[in-house]
């Protein structure tokens, strides 16, 4: 079994080895998340390892984040150490030829041995998509949460601002044993009209932070939904946050509307 140890301090690679930085995209519908599971569930890390083995790679790939079952990724950053000199772009093409259709390597480049996809990461960006429409979509059913009741975006947008900054996010996390203080650099709510009806909209909630607690983004979205439905005033979100009580926040929304967008390796700067 491959070790799952992730060093917190940079360690020198063996003679002749190099580190590759990957950017991955996947459809999370049929994956039990990123990380290899003890019971052998299908995971992104697992299928990537399987594709790497015929290319002479036995090291375990590491990613900037560990996504849950059903969560998608548009630009997950990962790295893997290799003991050969196959050019990086040849590796990209070889991996895509061996990977299943629901995961792709978008880029593969050589990186410094000091680079670590998780511990070098300065911020991570997630997006949650909500289809606010009278009728469910055949195409979006595994891509966005369907909410048939009308959502008011303006108060959701106002409420989201209360979540920016350094706070204790215990009220939005579940099954969390780590310390719960985190920094959210940006929390924005956007509405995109849906062409099939002027009364329907696709709502995107983007959250950018240094790091996230278990189910934190899904708890935030569930709480903002309560605001959009008029069950919670926008200003009450600050009270929910201050309470540190999970029971005060909205329920975790389904995972299939959540996307890992990108990871940044320079300090966050709002555009």
Radius of gyration of the chain from Cα atoms?
A: 20
How many C-beta atoms surround the C-beta of residue 235 within 10 A? 12
Asked if residues 79 and 116 have their Cβ atoms less than 8 Å apart, the reply is yes
Give 192's contacts (C-beta < 8 A, 6+ positions apart). 201, 202, 203, 204
Q: Which of 144, 61, 51 is nearest to 104 (CA)?
A: 51
Asked if residues 104 and 24 have their Cβ atoms less than 8 Å apart, the reply is yes
Asked if residues 223 and 232 have their Cβ atoms less than 8 Å apart, the reply is yes
In the structure encoding, which two tokens stand for residue 37, read together? 């599971």
Active-site residues, by number, are 68
> Nearest 5°: phi and psi at 72?
-95, 165
How many C-beta atoms surround the C-beta of residue 109 within 10 A? 12
Q: Give the whole-angstrom CA distance, residue 139 versus residue 256.
A: 13
DSSP annotation string for 27-81: -GGG---SS--TT----HHHHHHHHHGGGT--SPPEES--PPTT-EEEEEEEEEE
Q: Give the whole-angstrom CA distance, residue 128 versus residue 74.
A: 12
């Amino acid at each position: 079994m491959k070790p799952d140890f992730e060093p917190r301090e940079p360690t020198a690679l063996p003679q002749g080895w190099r580190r590759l930085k990957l950017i991955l995209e996947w459809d999370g519908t049929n994956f039990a998340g990123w990380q290899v599971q003890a019971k052998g569930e299908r995971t992104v890390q697992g299928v990537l390892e399987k594709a790497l083995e015929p290319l002479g790679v036995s090291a375990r790939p590491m990613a900037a984040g560990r996504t849950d079952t059903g969560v998608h990724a548009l630009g997950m950053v990962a790295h893997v150490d290799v003991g050969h000199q196959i050019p990086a772009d040849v590796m990209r093409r070889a991996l895509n030829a061996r990977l299943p259709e629901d995961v792709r390597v978008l880029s593969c480049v050589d990186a410094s041995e000091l680079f670590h996809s998780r511990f070098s990461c300065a911020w991570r960006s997630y997006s949650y998509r909500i289809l606010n429409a009278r009728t469910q979509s055949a195409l979006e059913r595994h891509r966005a949460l369907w909410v048939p009741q009308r959502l008011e975006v303006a108060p959701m947008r106002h409420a989201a601002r209360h979540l920016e900054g350094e706070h204790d996010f215990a009220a939005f996390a579940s099954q969390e044993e780590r310390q719960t203080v985190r920094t959210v650099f940006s929390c924005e709510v956007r509405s995109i009209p849906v062409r099939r009806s002027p009364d329907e909209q696709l709502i995107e909630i983007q959250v950018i932070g240094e790091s996230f607690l278990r189910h934190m983004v899904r708890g935030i979205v569930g709480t903002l939904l309560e605001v959009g439905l008029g069950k919670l005033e926008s200003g009450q979100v600050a009270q929910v946050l201050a309470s540190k009580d999970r029971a005060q926040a909205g329920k975790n929304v389904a995972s299939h509307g959540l996307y890992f967008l990108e990871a940044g390796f320079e300090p966050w700067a709002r555009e």
